[in-house]
Amino acid sequence: MTIKASKRAQGIEYAIRDVLLPARQLEKKGITILKLNIGDPNAYDFDTPQHIKDALYTAANEQHNGYAPSEGVLELRRAIIERERTRNNMSYEPDDICVTTGVTEGLQMLLNASLEPKDELLIPGPTYPQYNVITKFADAKPVAYHCIETENWQPDIDDIQNKITEHTKGVVLINPNNPTGALYSRKVIKEILDIAGEHTLMVISDEIYDDLTFDGKQYATASLTNDVPVITFNGFSKVYVMPGWRIGYTMFKHTGELDEIQDTFLRIARSRLCANSVCQQACIQALRGPQNHIEQMNEKLRKRRDFSYKRLNEIEGISTAKPDGAFYIFPKIEAMGKGPWKNDKEFVLDLLQEAHVLTVNGSGFCETYGKDHFRAVILPPMETLEKAFDAMEVFMKKSLNH
């Protein structure tokens, strides 16, 4: 007799990694896959800055190998406070910050600390999948709000307002956005904060890509309000090119409204012991050491963004908005209904099988506002992007003229 898995776990899907399974089957046959699927700069031609790697080695040799404090190494939290003061003109205390095993753990801890069954969380559509997964796992309901593709995926303020109910607990912003690459305007952020203040909602702001921008400035959500409670997620995976080190942090800004949630969050933090101790020591040097790799990274990404935007819009049956931050692009499959595919997942799997180009189906980021799209990364070197888009163009011509 089969011992059954829990019902709440059986529905878990994660499109970004789920598409790897059929890709691996092709690789076993010796087929080279052009991978545009995963937001890992280290999988391409980016590397962790040398001074950060050196700091990790030093930390291990200087015996920082035991458990760290559950809320994070104090010196790292002070370095984060320095960054917030200089970058965002924000003032935090060490007790307002908790270091986590990546942003994902912080998100798990926060939603478990704050959501009850039947609570609703307003989440951008499309969104990073974990917001849907973890909300559902807490027996709460993720509610997607519309982001406007023709306005470079800016949040639809009217739709947010219209979707608030008596069960709404909070609203999520991801800025710059995964999967669309949208960079939210100051006006839009302020309008979302005004709505949250009017309805006594917490605002969850995911800012993991904050310094990866091409055509504008990223505004920290918490810096634009004095009276709306904001929980900010950030970390070192993307800007500091160290995703496998798994160090993120959560910052609480409020005037008492989140005391109970923050206390519960920290109790969960204590129960899971701590984030990686030696990596935390290296992150201090990441924040206090040279920052010139950020400008160099953005320059490479900007060129790859410009090429990807131009090239994708040249392909018959594909169109795309222009991303302004992060390292994603979220094209629309204009040919859906004209080709042999019933949905975007079929499109992505067909593209993989026929053209050996791996992307992620848009419905994996939102069944409503992500469908008939796919997500690609702009991280690969230009040569890889060129090969992938050439293969995609041949695939589209063949599919539409079949």
Give the whole-angstrom CA distance, residue 117 versus residue 106: 20
Q: Which of 308-335 are b and which e, b meaning 16 or more Cβ less than 10 Å from the residue's Cβ? A: bbebbeebebbebbbbbbbbbbbbbbeb
Paired residues of 100 in beta bridges: 248
Class of domain 50-288: alpha beta
Q: What is the CATH number of domain 7-47+293-400?
A: 3.90.1150.10
Q: If DSSP codes are grouped into helix, strand and coil, which group holds residue 317?
A: coil
Confidence of residue 14 (pLDDT cuts 50, 70, 90): low
Domain layout of the chain by residue ranges: 7-47+293-400, 50-288
Give the whole-angstrom CA distance, residue 40 versus residue 191: 32
Confidence of residue 339 (pLDDT cuts 50, 70, 90): confident
pLDDT digits (tens, 9 = 90+) for 117-126: 999 999 999 9
Question: Are the C-beta atoms of residues 109 and 115 closer than 8 Å to each other?
Answer: no
Give the whole-angstrom CA distance, residue 395 versus residue 401: 10
What DSSP state is assigned to residue 64? -
Give the whole-angstrom CA distance, residue 360 versus residue 378: 13
pLDDT digits (tens, 9 = 90+) for 237-287: 999 999 999 999 999 999 999 999 999 999 999 999 999 999 999 999 999
- Virtual torsion, Cα 74, 76, 80, 81, nearest 10 deg: 30
pLDDT digits (tens, 9 = 90+) for 125-150: 999 999 999 999 999 999 999 999 99
E strands, 129-257, in order: 141-148, 154-155, 168-174, 202-206, 230-235, 248-253
Residues 6+ apart with CB under 8 A from 144: 123, 124, 125, 126, 127, 366, 368, 369
